[in-house]
A and B are shown apart, each in its own frame.
Chain A
Amino acid sequence: MIRVLGHGLLGLVREGRTLLLLTVVGVSLGVGSVVAIQTLNQGALQAFGGSVRAVSGQADLTVLGTVPTIDPALLPRVLADPAVRDAWPLCRLDAALADGSGDLIQIVGFDVFAPVRYPLTRQLDETGSAADPGDLVAAAMAVPGWCAVTPHLAASHGWAVGDTVPVSSGSRLARLVIGALVDFQRYEPLAPVNIAVMDVAQAQALLARPDAIHQIDIVLAGDEDPGTAAARLQRNLGPGVRVLTPEQRAEDAAGLLAAFRLNLTALSLISVFVGLFLVLASVQASLVRRRREFGVLRVLGMQPRQVLVLILAEAGVLGLLGVAIGIPTGFRIALWNVETVSATLTSIYVLEEISRLVLTPTVIIIGTAVGLGGALCGAVLPALDMSRRGVVELLSPLTMHEGARRTAVPLALLAVAAMTAGLLWFVAAGGGNRYAGFILGFVMLIGLPLLVPGVIRAAGAPLRPRGLGWVLSLRNLTIRLRTSSFAVAALAVTISMMVGITLLVGSFRQTLVTWLDVTIRADVYVSTESWIRAGNEAFLDAELLTALGGRPDVQAVETQRRLRVSTADGRHRVWLSGIAFSAVPGVTLASRLPLYAGDPEAVAGRLLASEAVVIGEPLARKAGLGPGDDLVLAGPDGPVSLPIAGVAFDYTSEAGTAFTTLETFGRHFRSDQPNNAALFLQPGADPDAVVAELQRTHRGRPLVFRSNATLRREVLAIFDQTFAVTRTLQTMALFIAACGLALAQLIQVRERAGELALFRALGATRAQISRMFLGEGLAMAGLGLALGLGGGAGLAALLILVINREWFGWTIRPDVPLGALALEVAVILGAALAAGIYPAWKSGLSSPAQLSRDDL
């Protein structure tokens, strides 16, 4: 058996290098897409975990506020707990480098006398020119702005020890002094690189408030169970804080990213699904090539079971080859995409950026399982089929296709039945199941390939060719149904995915544009360089606001304070905004409320007159809230209950948003200092000219002025960036499908050697044969396109109306982006044409002298 297997594999290498290459490429791309996405997913979580470990590595518990800052009076109460051996405060904030780069760094103010040596501070004891670590500690406290940064961060900005670095938090400017270079990653490999560590008192004084504490880390005494201690501390400290273990914090991040990760994983699995067709086609090709060999082996006494094992073993070797190439390829793809995914994490989810990707054993195991499992799954049907065939059938190539023709209609009926059943189940029972949309999508994606043989047959069989044109090409597909079905099915699934996502993205973008039209109404927006990440505490100072309001070209100023809070039950994170609405002539508040539920006039009236709140649609869906309910938030002094006046469309965060008046906000969340401002200009004032003038006036200050148009452009740029990784997956899937087309046609060149030789004998030129093959490639692409467009429309409906609402909570108005779709169709046809060039050329090489007695 081993010898026969070895002979078969050697034969594949010798005689079917291109087939082998295409199959392995297909499998490896499938594996690669899964590895890439899993690596990025894990990277996102590890980045957060790395940050937690770097800062709080030896802490058993961490106390975080329900609002960003913690009452400093809580520290003595923490220390008074008998289970707490020690506790120390941290001041954490994000600051922007005021060097024009726009880069942000994480400032960690820590207690240099903290009784632990966790990764962040460990090296401080070993670093610097000072022989005595005590000198370093003294410098950290005595030198104004002293901080330690990573060598990577210093190198990327050209900093050296002793340099002064201007940074900003909100509209405040401060100067940091590079006191030491500390390789935090030496102790915590996943520690963020953009971190700067300084004395807590210095951080408070320079960039926050003198008593601002954002976190208290705790080390427990003895064998106290962290869970028990956390529960007791939570009771003692009250509802204004949350006491968490490091694991709980990591779980928080995992929960935040759940939908993002799940969607990317689902998309990457489609590539695997498409790759599976390649294995099917490849095994089919191998069987075509070796059918006589199997026939002879069967005559010589080989058992059907042995044939089965032989074929599966061959597929397994192909799968392993795909895994061997796919895992490093996937990791490389992850590295290429890390910047865009990282940018999405920071701009949309406000999490750590991914500073380092690691290929973990878990990802390697997943990749291997996907590649090997996919190859075996792809091979099992043809292997079973081949092992059950009689010797006579094995010696006749067309009987296999005749079998495929016979099963075409039953398979199509089965597909229709499965899809109908799936749809009925979804309508009847899918409502309460979050995964129902994915299950229905899976059923549709399984059903689509099953439809393919029937569709090809229906399209080609009634046609009567009158020449070597497209009718004959289409007809030829029905003759070699088994081979053509695989390629068309792979393409149809890929196009479904591509078109589905294009429709989703196009609809989403159009919805976003419409939403921006309603909500972005001011002429100029003012924020700070550190606002993107440090929105909680990047404040605008009062003098600036006064100056802006006093400008003659400014009609009205609206200010906004934004804070990340949680619902009182801890289940939902909410970006809560307090807005100081201004009366702007011609622009009523009601007209600016993009309401999903509620009457605009009534909602605006309640918002201004009472302590009401308007919540975003994602929060309404996820928390099951609506007008008439109360939004109960965890406030610094306990639960804050705000009646919900209305639900607004909102696309700023899938986590949840809510807004109320700045007055109400300040009453419950202590601070009403705004983070940003919106200027409504006098009629006739030119926003771009005002922005230019403001930039001139405030040169050197960490302020960002944007016109309405600029802000829209930036919002849409972030949107496009979010889907960049999706486009990579689409491209990979298309590449796999193109490999499938090329593979199918190469198989046909092999299968139809006799037919092609006959054509040549009858006077067909090489060019005619090549054109016929290109025509068949385009016919396959056309059928795949037709099915894929249908499947894509269904998938888009599912993504837009079901999965998106269920997982992200957004209402997206379906829209058909004709330009993007036309481009996609052109790319698909181009890819199909490109995939067909080599097989077409190869087909033209056939010689009439190759005609033998049993070729046809």
Chain B
Amino acid sequence: MNGPFPSLVLDRVGMVFPAASGSARTVLDGVDLSLHAGQCLALVGRSGSGKTTLLHLAAGIAVPTSGRVLIDGEDLGGMTENARTRLRRDRIGIVFQFFHLLPHLNVAENVALPGWIDGRPGGGLEKRVGELLDRVGLADRSRDPVGRLSGGEMQRVALCRALLNKPSLLLADEPTGSLDDRTGQVILDLLLEMAEAERCALLLVTHSLTVAARAERIFELHDGRLRQDPGVPS
């Protein structure tokens, strides 16, 4: 959806986890963020800084302990878990670092999976799957088992899967983290290109400032707070 609202808004979002000792651990503290369709934002930070937590909040997988998360203007806080799940299915695409393709399904079936979950009819779904695979150069591999693909090819399949339902928000969690530099570069190009072509907002989570540099804006997560434009390598 490319309406008047930002694709993603984090409004003073806080996340506190109970710790084993009984005290609380603050992971996110008053985080504000707004991301519009067609924009790309990179989120960097050290391990354990809360990047994954922020991604989970943006995907509606978790709800913040304070503040609001809005997708296309809809507040996830007021939604049931089922409603958040449906919203994730319809408006959010996720690309994982480790691809998470189902090894027993072939390329086309992996891409079609969100459509199956959505209960979309076969004809339109197949057409969309074919179109996406064509754009990433894997049209001729659609019947191949995913086990025969290289890492870069697997991530391309994962990208197609994430874009299948034409999401307004694309979340990419270390999308090049499992790939060599060259392949990573190719995937990154493809990710940015397709996000733009599909007119969706892209939240790129990475620990690499080089990757982050490709985004329009960069935020660093540090001590639970967001800091814009940390030092970017040339």
| A contact residues vs B (CB 8 Å cutoff) | 398, 464-468, 472, 475-476, 478-479, 754-755, 758-768, 847-849, 851, 853-856
Known: A759-B113, A763-B117. 18 other contacts (CB 8 A): A465-B105, A466-B116, A467-B116, A475-B104, A754-B100, A760-B61, A761-B100, A762-B94, A762-B113, A763-B85, A764-B85, A764-B89, A765-B82, A849-B61, A849-B62, A851-B96, A855-B100, A856-B103
Asked if A758 meets B116 with Cβ closer than 8 Å, knowing A763-B85, A765-B85, the reply is: no
| A210, B104: Cα distance in complex, Å | 87
Q: Residue among B88, B90, B116 with the most chain A CB within 10 A?
A: B116
Find B117's partner among A759, A847, A848 (CB 8 Å cutoff).
A759
| A248, B28: Cα distance in complex, Å | 88
Asked if A848 meets B59 with Cβ closer than 8 Å, knowing A398-B103, A468-B117, A762-B114, the reply is: yes
B122 at the interface (CB under 8 A from A): yes
Asked if A760 meets B96 with Cβ closer than 8 Å, knowing A467-B116, A848-B61, A849-B56, the reply is: no
Q: Which residue of A lies closest to B119 (CB)?
A: A467
Q: Which residue of A lies closest to B147 (CB)?
A: A398
Inter-chain contacts of B104 with A (CB < 8 A): 475-476, 478-479
Find B98's partner among A466, A762, A847, A854 (CB 8 Å cutoff).
A854
Asked if A466 meets B122 with Cβ closer than 8 Å, knowing A762-B89, A763-B117, the reply is: yes
CB distance from B82 to the nearest CB of A (A): 5
Q: Which B75-90 residues have C-beta < 8 A from chain A? A: 81-82, 85-86, 88-90
| A468, B113: Cα distance in complex, Å | 9
Across the A-B interface, the 7 shortest Cβ-Cβ residue pairs: A763-B89, A479-B104, A467-B116, A764-B117, A848-B61, A763-B88, A853-B98
A468-B114 in contact (CB<8A): no
Inter-chain contacts of A849 with B (CB < 8 A): 56, 61-62
Q: Which residue of A lies closest to B108 (CB)?
A: A464
A762-B86 in contact (CB<8A): no
Inter-chain contacts of A479 with B (CB < 8 A): 104
Q: Which residue of B lies closest to A469 (CB)?
A: B116
Asked if A765 meets B86 with Cβ closer than 8 Å, knowing A847-B61, A849-B62, A856-B102, the reply is: yes
Find A762's partner among B56, B82, B105, B117 (CB 8 Å cutoff).
B117
B109-A465 in contact (CB<8A): yes
Q: Residue among B89, B90, B105, B117 with the most chain A CB within 10 A?
A: B117
B211 at the interface (CB under 8 A from A): no
Inter-chain contacts of A848 with B (CB < 8 A): 56, 59, 61
CB distance from A749 to the nearest CB of B (A): 16
Inter-chain contacts of A478 with B (CB < 8 A): 104
B118 at the interface (CB under 8 A from A): yes
Inter-chain contacts of B116 with A (CB < 8 A): 465-468, 472
Inter-chain contacts of A466 with B (CB < 8 A): 116, 122
CB distance from A149 to the nearest CB of B (A): 71
| A754, B90: Cα distance in complex, Å | 21
Q: List 14 A-B contacts (CB under 8 A).
A: A465-B105, A467-B116, A468-B116, A755-B102, A758-B102, A759-B113, A763-B88, A763-B89, A763-B165, A764-B89, A766-B81, A767-B82, A847-B61, A856-B103
Inter-chain contacts of B94 with A (CB < 8 A): 761-762
CB distance from A852 to the nearest CB of B (A): 8
A856-B89 in contact (CB<8A): no
CB distance from A400 to the nearest CB of B (A): 13
A763-B97 in contact (CB<8A): no
Asked if A768 meets B117 with Cβ closer than 8 Å, knowing A760-B85, A763-B90, the reply is: yes
Inter-chain contacts of B85 with A (CB < 8 A): 760, 763-766
Find B101's partner among A464, A476, A856 (CB 8 Å cutoff).
A856
Inter-chain contacts of A847 with B (CB < 8 A): 61
B161 at the interface (CB under 8 A from A): yes
Asked if A761 meets B61 with Cβ closer than 8 Å, knowing A466-B122, A479-B104, the reply is: yes
Inter-chain contacts of B56 with A (CB < 8 A): 848-849
| A766, B80: Cα distance in complex, Å | 12
Q: Which residue of A lies closest to B125 (CB)?
A: A466
Inter-chain contacts of A851 with B (CB < 8 A): 96, 100
Q: Which residue of B lies closest to A480 (CB)?
A: B104
Inter-chain contacts of B102 with A (CB < 8 A): 755, 758, 856
Q: Which residue of B lies closest to A476 (CB)?
A: B104
Inter-chain contacts of B96 with A (CB < 8 A): 851
Asked if A766 meets B61 with Cβ closer than 8 Å, knowing A475-B104, A479-B104, the reply is: no
| A758, B100: Cα distance in complex, Å | 7
